[in-house]
Structures are given as structure tokens and as C-alpha cells.
A and B are shown apart, each in its own frame.
Chain A
């Protein structure tokens, strides 16, 4: 038997109030007011599909270095790199054992995540080992568009394998159909959609029932026995309509998180699945749909373990950690939707120097320092000579990952002079509980409560964006533990 062994999620902390989008744009399109309910998760300037993926992965799998997996698959339609495997960055940031690890980016459809999940299940079924699918999305939308009201940013991770299952796979089906409810062409930033009523009537209400009915028939499961129907869509009424049409219980329709997160694209099926797994009881049947140029449908049955196993924070935790953002201009700025004066200090050349980046990838990608085998001193960066003046031994340091460690803030400031997309720039000296200290950037700081002594954990974030060459550099930043 194969199935789900762990799940996790991540939502950016900022939650843009949809009302402020409508307030800014309703003069042009008064119809936006009808969508101005609730909030949506919004990436900080230093978050993207990869950084969110690292958080979702950690939520499900923890931060222990050297985890042995058969495959890591990253599903997204908003990958930072079109030709640099994004899942490899994820794997190195998570310090995975890479001696035999299949990595893959799956993209080009809202269904990419469920298709990736099917592939991961195949890996597990083949006996190759456990596999993790992370779906992450940071989609752009035009100012004053319906998409701007509906889309949100977020990520979810589902681990699959053969042992310690939280939910076993009953069966699955995939039915591709070239139904173009929306598309995004090569070289374009924004989606182009079609009328919602057509998408609903000809898409959701015909394509989904066809696949679901076929799957239920094949498995002999009655629709009435489905406890959780994961049906990602940005149309609020569709899940309820489908539940009724298919004969599932009304309680099976999941909260689509449209008013709390927004539609997170291809991350949405796994995000909703993770959310529902938090609530599932042993024996519950979960039917997961991926919709986009056809339909993937996967049927899981929760095991006893689902009641006891929990992610580090999960969807509920991520939902609760939100902070309301009412500055629409900040959202536009972070997403590069307006031509903004960033100041002359922003014009510094930020070339990535790929050869140096490669040499230093243990530090930059994985936050690996050194531990002196002679005096046990932890230090970062790792160096030839031990930093302990009483020791100073040469070449005695073993790699020592600090990415899962917490520390205390010894010194800090909020810098308004240096260029930052979200000023002021916080940075300071972090002293790690395990030893080692580093002067480093900080992010997601609450100015009112932050001071020396604050406990922080470290997180993989965008460090610099080289807009001249379209590159972005990542590094680890300290975030206050809340």
C-alpha cells in the first residue's frame, strides 16, 4: 500500500485586504466590489515560489539535514527560473541527501501539482523510496483585474511512501481535455481568461464529474461516502454545486480558502488537501481533484495515524499567523506591477558571479557552517582556521548545518538608508543556541516588540534581485519566532 506520509503548508505572513484593492480600482471596474471580501496571502518582496516551497517542505518534513528521499518534485506555474532546475535549489536549501535523488519541476497547468503527486506515488509504488511533492505559487495579476482579487500566494507539501501512512491511495484517474479556461503564453507575465459562466458550465461541471464518476465506479466507492471533496477553484459556488450534483454529503465540500488565502493556483489542490488532512478522521475518504486542461482525481482513505500526526504548523497555523496588510501600493511594488522609483542606491550592479556562488553553495543554499573537531566550536562561514583563539586549529572543521537552529539577537538596527524593497532593512548579530554567530539580514520583524534578546529562526529568502540579468540570489535571514 502507498499513500501520504506527511503534509505541510506555508502562507506568506502578509494578508492583503481585498477591500483596498477594490477601493483603489472600483472607479474603473465597479464589479470588483463584489469580490472585495476577506483577504489574500501576499508574498513579501523576498519571498517567491522557491522560498515558500522550502517553508512548506519544512512544515511537513522538518529541518533535519541529510534526509534520504527518492524524489523531490516542485510543481508551479510561477517558477523563478525557466532554465535552472528550481527543485534542486529546494533540495539544497533543505540539505537533502543528494547521492541519489530524483528532482523535477512540473509546470504549465493548474493540474501540475496533482500530476506531480501521481508521479510521486508511482515512485513510492515502485519501491524506490519516499517522495515529496511541493506545490508553490506566486502568480502575477494585472492591476484592477478579477485575478488580482482572487489569486493568493502559498505553498503546500505532500510526502508519499509505503510506511507510516496518514492516508492510503485507493485509486486515481487522469483525463486530459484541451479546455482553456485561461492560459499564459510563453514570455507573458499575466493570465488571459474566458467568461466564468462558460468555465463553470462547460468546464468544472462537466469535466470534473466525468472523471470523478469514472473513479468512483472503478473503485466501487459511493459518492455519499466521500468525507472530503478537495475541489480547487476560484469560483466560490462550484464545490457546493458539484457536491450536490455528484451526490456527496454537503459537509464534503471544502473551504476553498478564497477569502483567507486566495486561489494559490497549482498549489491549491495540495493546500486544500493539507488543510483537510488536518481535520480528517481515521477511515475518512478524501477525493482530490486537480483541474486544468482536464482533470486528475485521486481517492485517499485516512488511516488511524491521521489523528495523531501533525505538521509543524500546518494550514491552520499558517492561517492564524497572518497579519493584515492594507497597503495596496506595497503589493504592487513587491510584485513589480508599477514602475517605481527605487532610488540611486538600488542601481548597484548585483551580478551573481555564478562560479563563486557554486563554490559557496553550502553556505548560501544550505546555511552550512563548520564545527571544529578539535574544540567543538561552531562557526559560520566554515573556514580553514578555527575562529576560537584558544584553538585556531587548521582544517579541522566538519560541515555543520545551522539552517534548523534558533538563535538570539545580540545587536540590531532598522536601516532606512540602505536600499531595500521593504524598508527599513533589519539586520544584526545573531548568536545561535548551538554556538556560532553571524551578522545577518532579518525579515518579518514587528517593530513594536523587536529588541535584543529576541529569539529567531533562519529562513531561506531572496537576498538580491539582479534585474539587469533576471537573476535572483537567495540567502538565509533571521525571522523572530512567534
Chain B
């Protein structure tokens, strides 16, 4: 029986570039910016890194395929470097690879670097791209907000939620993230907004309006991982360890069979259950101090609260409106602004979330520091609500 990853690996250092419309920056600039912070934090030399993983979601629009972009940008010393792509879970996948490498004993210190350069397309939103030769024949003519808007229609139908009530809860999700983002100097969007602004914004994909969508950003984030023993030997205190790392990929069942009704994301529920088991969490709403979830769109965050068992089924609208996930709520969500305001450079996002958890758990989150957090959860959802890959990571104080 597998014992899981709990407490076998710790974060030695983490770094994150400023996210946003980085017209000034090449991918190499973004990587260097994140890496310098990370390396200084880790307190090691570059040549102590024994393996590295690079996550990028959309290679054609940034650096092309392969792992050389990372290896060259950082002048890594001829070590194994691998590119990982798994939709929006890519960043967490790079972290998972580095963590597993350390846990296996194959290497002592490993780097996970995620980045994306999205703002060279000439238009807003994610780059329009092929889904594959055969898929393009029958997949609907979709955009990302269009696919995630399916959740709103499914949720509304299942719980008989009033259209306006759901829209208001979605608006609250965004208002909360903007308020959090306003306290984050690295965030793409740092301006607070009102519920009225969110509700009256131009429609993108019914019922998702402009303020229901996350930022499309350039950025890089990274983490260096090692074992608790090595971290201690390097003089580290207040260690942040990996408690759980789970991934779940759809097999076509939700969209092709059975009763999936569009009101939830099946893979999140499966990954969350496994992660809670791996981390030894029995009552997530009580035990989890904070979350960074994949709020690509406000409705995604809303249903994710149920999928992570932080809200009861059908209860997220009330919990959201009651402020349960606000910065001063019971389980703060997107304390750094989330994808919504920190931004969403696809390959970097999972690592950006872990960066925030790491800052919070080590008490270094500045004006947005939460009081005494012990356990943080990050969640990525790549693809579509009916067909996707979901990662759930739980990190926490090594002594917790």
C-alpha cells in the first residue's frame, strides 16, 4: 500500500515574478525574475539543483517545445530538465515531478519552474488554438469562458437557483478577489471593484461577464524542493512540507455517459478525496486554513467550493454571499487575488498558488498575511468542466 507523499518533501525556496501585461519581458526575463527570488530564499547555489521541470501550457505562443527555454534562460549546469504540459495543472505537475524526484531519493534538490508568455497574441483572452486534428472536427466552437459557463447553466438547473442570485454570488467571488489583489504588488489587477461593476460588465459567455474572468497574464513562478533533513542541514526553520499531491484526469465519462449534470467537476471531487486522505484531513472546512483554487472564472470557484467539500452541495451560493471565503472568513480563498487578479500565466499558476501558500505559512505575506495559517490547499483545473485534469495540492507546516 502506497504511503503517499505526506511530509517527505519541503519547499526550500519559492519565487514569483510580477504578473501582468509584461510588454517589457521575454519568457527568459520572467523566469530569471522568479528564479533570483527563489534561489536567494533557498540559500543555495544554482549548481546544487540536480534536476528541473519546466511547465508551459501553450508552447506555440511563448517559447516553442522542449525544456531548453528553462535550461538556457537560467544557464542550468547540464542537468536533467523536462518540459511538462497538462493544461492549467501544468505548474502543479512540475511541482509534483520535482517533489516525487526528491521523495524517491533520485535527487536531493529539484526545481519546478512554470511560466507563460500570453500577451503576444494581439488580442484579449487566451490564444485561439487547435484542439487537435480530430477533435477540431467535432468539438464545439468554444472559448474558455464559454466552456466554464456550462457550469452556471448546469448549477442553475440542478439547484433551481435564480439567475440573478447566482450572478450576484459570482460577482461576490470576483469582488473578494479584487479586494485581495489590491493588497498584492505582484498582482496583475490591483484595483478593487464593486458588485455592481461585476454584475453589469459586458457579457463574454452567458452568464459570465468580463469581471467573472481571470486575468490573462505573463508571468513565472518557481519553487525549489528538498527533503526536510537537507533543509534543516541548510539551516532552515519553520519548514513548509508537502502533505498531499493528487491529480485526476477525466476519461470521457462525464461528457459521454452517466449523470454528470454540469453543476460540479467530478475530477475535483475525486482528487480532493484522495488528497484529504493522503494529508490525513478529516474535516476540510475546519482543518484547511486557506485555499488557492482555480478561479479561471467566478463560477468555477463557486462550484469548486462544493467540489472540495468546503461547502455542502447546493450551499456555495450562500457561503460565498456570507463571506465564508473572504479574507476575513472561515476559509479564505484567493488571498493573493487568485487567477482572477494575480493573473493566469497558465504554466505558472500552480506554482504561483504554492508560492502564496508558502509565504502565508512562513508568515511573510505582508499586508495580506492571515493569522496563523497551518494548512493550505491549492487546486488547478485544466480543460473543460466535462473533460479535464485536476490537481489538488496540500501544503502545511512541517510540524502541523
A residues whose Cβ falls under 8 Å from a Cβ of B: 343-345, 347-350, 353, 356-357, 359-360, 363-364, 377, 379-381, 383, 387-389, 410-420, 424-425, 427-429, 436-441, 451-453, 463-464, 473, 475
Q: Closest CB of chain A to B70's CB: distance in Å?
A: 28
Q: Indicate whether A415 sits within 8 Å of B145 (C-beta atoms), given known contacts A348-B129, A353-B133.
A: yes
Of B133, B205, B257, which is in contact with the most chain A CB atoms at under 10 Å from its CB?
B257
Instruction: Give the complex CA separation of A412 and B257 in angstroms.
Output: 17
Look across to chain A and name the residue whose beta carbon is closest to the beta carbon of B149: A413
What's the nearest-Cβ distance from chain B to residue A74, in Å?
23
Distance between Cα atoms of A453 and B133 in the complex (Å): 31
Residues in B with CB closer than 8 Å to A427 are: 140-142, 146
Distance between B148 CB and nearest chain A CB, rounded to angstroms: 8
B157 and A452 form a contact (CB under 8 A): yes
Shortest Cβ distance from A447 into B: residue? B206
Q: Restricting to B105-151, which residues have a CB under 8 Å from any CB of A?
A: 121-123, 125, 128-130, 133-134, 136-147, 149-151
Residues of A within 8 A of B145 (CB): 413, 415, 417
Q: Is A360 touching B134 in the complex (CB atoms < 8 A)?
A: yes
Residue B156 at the chain A interface, CB threshold 8 Å: yes
CB distance from B145 to the nearest CB of A (A): 6
**Is A412's CB under 8 angstroms from B140's CB?**
no
B153 on interface, CB distance cutoff 8 Å: yes
B154 within 8 A of A: yes
The 6 closest A-B pairs by CB, nearest first: A415-B146, A427-B140, A411-B262, A413-B149, A411-B150, A418-B143
**B204 near A: Cβ within 8 Å?**
yes
Contact A425:B137 (CB < 8 A) given known A344-B121, A349-B130, A410-B261: no
* Contact yes or no, A429 B262, CB < 8 A: yes
Does any Cβ of A come within 8 Å of B256's Cβ? yes
Q: Chain A interface mostly helix, strand, loop or mixed? A: mixed
Bound complex: CA A407 to CA B143 (Å) = 23
- Measured CB to CB, the nearest residue on chain B to A453 is B157
Q: Which single member of A356, A363, A415 contacts B149 (CB below 8 Å)?
A: A415
Which chain B positions have C-beta within 8 A of A387?
251-253, 256-257
B79 contacts partner chain A, Cβ-Cβ < 8 Å: no
Inter-subunit contact A410/B154 (CB<8 Å): yes
Please give, as numbers and ranges, the residues of chain B lying within 8 Å of A344 by CB-CB distance: 121-123, 128
12 A-B residue pairs with Cβ-Cβ distance under 8 Å, sorted by A, are: A356-B137, A360-B138, A410-B154, A411-B385, A413-B150, A418-B142, A418-B143, A425-B141, A437-B255, A439-B386, A441-B140, A475-B137
CA distance A428 to B141 in the complex (A): 10
Cβ of B384 within 8 Å of any chain A Cβ, yes or no, is yes
Shortest C-beta distance, B124 to chain A (Å), equals 8
A363 to B154, Cβ gap below 8 A? no
B255: nearest chain-A partner, CB-CB = A439
**Contacts A360-B134, A429-B386, A452-B154; is A415 near B256 (CB within 8 Å)?**
no
For B204, the closest partner residue in chain A by CB is: A417
Are the C-beta atoms of A439 and B140 separated by less than 8 Å? yes
Residues of A within 8 A of B153 (CB): 411-413, 428, 451-452
For A418, A440, A452, the residue with the greatest tally of chain B CB atoms inside 10 Å of its CB is A418
Chain B hits for A424, CB < 8 A:
205-206
Bound Cα distance A413, B385 (Å):
13
- A441 to chain B: closest CB distance in Å? 5
B40 at the interface (CB under 8 A from A): no
CB pair B255 A418 closer than 8 Å: no
The residues of B that contact A411 with a CB separation of less than 8 Å are 150-151, 153-154, 157, 261-262, 385-386
Known: A344-B123, A418-B143. 10 other contacts (CB 8 A): A344-B122, A359-B134, A389-B258, A411-B150, A411-B385, A412-B150, A413-B208, A428-B150, A429-B255, A436-B256
**Could you tell me the distance in whole angstroms from the C-beta of B1 to the nearest C-beta in chain A?**
23
**Which residue of chain A has its CB nearest to the CB of B146?**
A415
How far does the Cβ of B395 sit from chain A's closest Cβ, in whole Å?
32
Q: For the complex, give the distance between the alpha carbons of A429 and B255 in Å.
A: 7
Instruction: Tell me which of A363, A389, A441, A452 has the highest count of chain B C-beta atoms within 10 A of its own C-beta.
Output: A452
Closest to B261 in A: A410
Q: Across the interface, name the chain B residue whose C-beta is closest to A420.
A: B141
Once bound together, how far apart are the Cα atoms of A438 and B206, in whole Å? 20
Please, how many angstroms separate the alpha-carbon atoms of A343 and B125 in the complex?
13
A414/B205 contact (C-beta < 8 A), A377-B257, A428-B153, A452-B153 known: yes
B339 to chain A, nearest CB (A): 16
A348 touches B386 (CB 8 A): no
CA distance A440 to B141 in the complex (A): 8
Q: How far is the CA of A363 from the CA of B205 in the complex (A)?
A: 28
> For the complex, is B234 an interface residue (Cβ under 8 Å from A)?
no
B203 within 8 A of A: yes
Cβ A345 vs Cβ B128 within 8 A? yes
With CB as the reference atom, state the residue of chain A lying closest to B155.
A411
**Bound-state Cα–Cα, A414 to B140, Å:** 12
Chain B nearest CB: distance from A289 CB in Å?
42
Closest residue of chain A to B129, judged by CB? A348
Q: In the complex the two chains form, is B137's CB within 8 Å of A357's CB?
A: yes
B298 to A: closest C-beta gap in Å: 14
Query: Least Cβ distance of B209 to chain A in Å?
Result: 10
Across-interface contacts of A381 in B (CB, < 8 A):
138
Question: Which residues of chain B have C-beta atoms less than 8 A from A412's C-beta?
Answer: 150, 153
A389-B253 contact given A413-B153, A413-B206, A415-B145, CB 8 Å threshold: yes
Q: Are B204 and A416 touching (Cβ within 8 A)?
A: yes
CB-CB < 8 A to A383: which residues of B? 252
- A417, B137: Cβ atoms closer than 8 Å: no
Cβ of B133 and Cβ of A364 under 8 Å apart? no
- Asked, given contacts A387-B252, A413-B146, A429-B262, whether A345 binds B123 with beta carbons under 8 Å apart, the answer is yes
Asked whether, in the complex, the Cβ of A417 is within 8 Å of the Cβ of B205, the reply is yes
Q: Is the pair B256, A417 in contact by a Cβ cutoff of 8 Å?
A: no
Q: How far is the CB of B388 from chain A (nearest CB, A)?
A: 12
Give B262 Cβ to nearest chain A Cβ, in Å.
3
Which chain B residues border A475 with CB–CB below 8 Å? 137-138
Question: A441: which B residues are within 8 A, CB to CB?
Answer: 140-141
**Chain B residues within 8 Å of A359, by CB:** 134
Residue of B146, B152, B253, B258 contacting most chain A CB atoms (<10 Å): B146
Write the nearest CB–CB distance from A20 to chain B, whole angstroms: 26
Which residue among B152, B153, B252 has the maximum number of chain A CB atoms within 10 Å of its CB?
B153
Given contacts A344-B121, A452-B153, contact A439 B257 (CB under 8 A): no
